[in-house]
Amino acid sequence: MESMNTVFDQLAAELPVEERKSLLKKISKSLKLHESSEDFKRKEFSQEEVEKKVRRDINLSGWFERFIIRLYSFFTGRSPVEFYLRRSLKHLKKKLDNTSGGSYFAGEETKLTGRLAREIYALYVLIAPLRRMFKEIWLDTEFIEILYSTFIRESIHSGKSDIYDFVSMEEMDAIFASTGDRNQIRKKLISRMNEFLNSIPLKNIEDINEYFLPFYFGKFLVVYPFKNLLSAFGCSMADLVEFRSPDFRNTDFSLVISRLEQLLYCLNLFAMTDWTDEHINAVSGAYLRIKRSDEGDNSEDRLQIIKKDIQSLKLGVEEFMKKTPLADIIKYIRKDSYYEQVFKIPKPDFFEFYSSSLKLRVLSALTSVFHEVQRKYINSSIERIFLGFTLYQLQGYREYKDFDFRTLNLPYFKHISSLMLLYNFYAQYYKGNVLEVFQVLYKTVLVKNPQLQSRILELQKDVEKVSSEISAFDRSLMPDHEDGKTFSLLKNELKKSPSLERKYRGFISEKDLEAERIIFSGLDILNHIQKGLERVISSPADLIRLQLSSVYPQVNRERSLRELIKLLLSDVSNLNNLLKQNLEMEKN
């Protein structure tokens, strides 16, 4: 069973840092699952406060008691306070020794006898049947989520827990297609989750919380580490599992005092809990329905057994606290007759836990779902931009059927797809669409604008350069080139000589860096093409505006040059987004 931190840390791993910290903090704060030394502690009194308490108690005692105290103080020279404190501890010890069942203390008065262990063990026997259920509910955070969401669903006759309950895949596809921004999907998810959470009536939340509270306060005692305490008295794990009451031995105060204080805290929390049949039926019933779903258990008698076990434990705790003077035993061990344990009553916010864990789970799911959204966007963008073109595949920088790098758990060329798309844009789309428009602009529209005319010429040269770089890079990995021979050797010999792996990894990394440089160079040129075309159609010159409104049959017989440029701008912008998304997917 995973701890809360493990489960939620795994879920939050892919979220942005600030969002991850915020949600994990809310979850941790909203549902305190383990007590700490800060939850209960010994109340410290100053010397002045102790003396004030003692003098008050002396004044409240009988006249003979007051006479003895003064007489002792007169003959010994010690203060009445010191005498009273020593006397009260002796009285406390005598009181504990005179209880039926034998003394709690061994003769040397620094050890506890097995009596206390036997009484705690009897309490453990009542608790044991409930430990599995309480551990599954409170130590498995996924189960708490399921249990709480079951109550939500049944109370409002509706429930949402899956990412698709808030935003469908079709809607995610549409949002990303129109914005190209993953964050817009995330915003929509958060908005829909907040709408759902705000729609749950406050009365329903309060009622559900009321059901959970007894089980929450009760779990501190039910999952208390009895093994750690009882082992100090000689009890083994086998004794606990098989319910064998061992021959408990004496143990030093120092070995158990902190555990006894923790137990006192857990008992006080349990004692303040109001266990009603309605609470038990609601939570235990929901627990059993979930378990039946998981395990196929159809036993309807289990609810009655759980109710009986809880009622037995409730009576057992009352009996234990009445007969076992645990607080007095702690006072004597601490040598402090005014010992008080102050403790914080936990204030769980079950709905905050539910809300934060729901958001964490749904937003974490977006990471895996987004890959599919991104893939669909990339495929549809490729079809739209390269409509009518048959895509050329790279010949050197590609996957090879005879080399299964995945089985070998080895890295491979990352940017095959992005480099191939960039190559096809310049080798096919550019030559079939953009180049003709550039030529018309250069020869006619921009004849009287040498600055823009020169920029168009520079862009053509830049395109030719990057196209040549892609071709040269791809050819370098062919078998008749030096790098291609090296790659072929590494592929073929890697299985036989694992020592070549380091060289292989270095080779792949070097080629990917080169491919990445070319791609970013190509993206830079795309941006310049986009800016150049935007400058042309936004030109205020009347002659240019008139010429752009004309149709040039050598380019297109139906659309004006302005319309064609707008279409090109749309495709260039889409290709830019496409390559950025593709690069992101390749890196992931």
Average pLDDT of the chain to the nearest whole number: 85
Task: Look at strands 251-252 and 111-112 and give their pairing.
Answer: antiparallel
Six-digit token string for 267? 């008992």
Looking at residue 87, what is its pLDDT?
A: 75
CA neighbours within 13 Å on the CB side: how many for 527? Answer: 9
User: What is the mean pLDDT of the segment spanning 341-356?
Assistant: 83
Q: Which of 3, 287, 291 minimizes the C-alpha distance to 139?
A: 3
Whether 445 maps to a domain, the answer reads yes
Q: Are residues 136 and 143 in contact, defined by beta-carbon separation less than 8 angstroms?
A: yes
End-to-end C-alpha distance for the chain, whole angstroms: 30
Buried b / exposed e across 274-301, counting CB within 10 Å, b at 16+? Answer: ebeeebbebbbebbbebbeeeeeeeeee
- Tokens coding 575: 């290709």
pLDDT tens, position by position, 308-337: 999 999 999 999 999 999 999 998 888 888
Percent above pLDDT 90 for the chain: 44
Name the residue with tokens 């599954």: 136
Identify the pLDDT of residue 526. Answer: 93
Q: Are 68 and 58 in contact (CB under 8 A)?
A: no
pLDDT of residue 272: 87
Kindly state whether residue 295 falls inside one of the protein's structural domains: yes
Residue type, 417: S
- For the cut 50, the answer to whether the pLDDT of residue 96 exceeds it is yes
Q: Indicate the SS3 state at residue 576.
A: helix
Query: 498-512 burial string, b = 16+ CB within 10 Å, else e?
Result: eebeeebeeebeebb
What's the pLDDT score for residue 475? 96
Considering the domain architecture, whether residues 565 and 500 belong to the same structural domain is answered as yes
Q: Are residues 357 and 399 in the same domain?
A: no
User: Same domain, yes or no, for 419 and 484?
Assistant: yes
Distance, CA of 237 to CA of 242 (rounded, Å)? 9
pTM for the structure as a whole = 0.70
Residues 358 and 473 in one domain: no
> Does position 471 have pLDDT exceeding 90, yes or no?
yes
User: Do 399 and 527 fall within a single domain?
Assistant: yes
Q: Helix or strand or coil: residue 580?
A: helix
Q: How far is CA 563 from CA 93, 134, 414, in A?
A: 100, 69, 37
Position 436 in a domain: yes
- Which residue has 């864990």 as its token pair? 357
For 303-342, give the DSSP string: HHHHHHHHHHHHHHHHHHHHH--HHHHHHHHTT-TT--EE
Whether 314 contacts 275, CB under 8 Å = yes
Dihedral angle, C-alpha 37, 42, 47, 52, nearest 10 °: 150
Do residue 359 and residue 396 come from a single domain?
no
Say if residue 33's pLDDT is above 60: no
Whether residue 505 is contained in a domain is answered as yes
**Distance from C-alpha of 440 to C-alpha of 552, rounded to nearest angstrom:** 8
Nearest to 269 by CA among 320, 221, 341: 221
Tell me which residue has tokens 């004044």: 59
Residue with tokens 């406390």: 92
d(CA 174, CA 349): 37
Q: How far apart are CA 136 and CA 148, in angstroms?
A: 13
Statement: residue 89 has pLDDT above 50: yes
User: Is the same domain home to 344 and 419?
Assistant: no
Neighbours of 308 (CB within 10 A): 12
Mean pLDDT computed over 102-126: 87
Q: Is residue 214 part of a domain?
A: yes
Residue 246 within any structural domain of the chain: yes
Residue 54 lies in a domain: no
Strand, helix or coil for residue 251: strand
| Phi, psi of 139, rounded to the nearest 5 degrees | -105, -5
Range of the domain at 168: 7-44+103-363
Q: Is the pLDDT of residue 103 over 90?
A: no
What pLDDT is attached to residue 16? 59
Q: How many residues does the chain have?
A: 588
Shared domain check, 416 and 337 = no
Longest dimension (CA), the chain: 127
pLDDT tens per residue, range 220-256 = 999 999 989 999 998 877 766 666 667 889 999 999 9
pLDDT of residue 4: 47
Indicate if 406 and 316 belong to the same structural domain. Answer: no
Q: Report in angstroms the alpha-carbon separations of 358 from 1, 26, 182, 291.
A: 20, 12, 19, 21
pLDDT of residue 26: 66
| Dihedral of alpha carbons 549, 551, 552, 557, sign | positive
Round to whole Å and give the CA distance between 170 and 466.
Answer: 37
Please say if the pLDDT value at position 28 is more than 70.
Answer: no
Q: Alpha helix (H) ranges present in 31-140?
A: 47-60, 63-76, 80-97, 114-138
Domain stops at, among 343, 363, 383: 363
Are residue 396 and residue 359 in the same domain, yes or no?
A: no
- pLDDT tens for residues 544-565? 889 989 888 888 888 899 999 9
Examine the pLDDT at 11 and tell me if it is beyond 70: no
Say how far apart CA 522 and CA 427 lie, in whole Å: 12
pLDDT in tens, 485-497: 999 999 888 878 8
Residue 588 pLDDT > 90, yes or no?
Answer: no
Same domain, 169 and 247: yes
Q: Is the domain of 473 the same as that of 332?
A: no
Residue 144 is assigned to a structural domain of this protein: yes
Contact (CB, 8 A) for 422 and 470? yes
Ordered DSSP codes for 49-72: HHHHHHHHHHHHS-HHHHHHHHHH
More confident residue, 62 or 330: 330
How many domains in the chain? 2
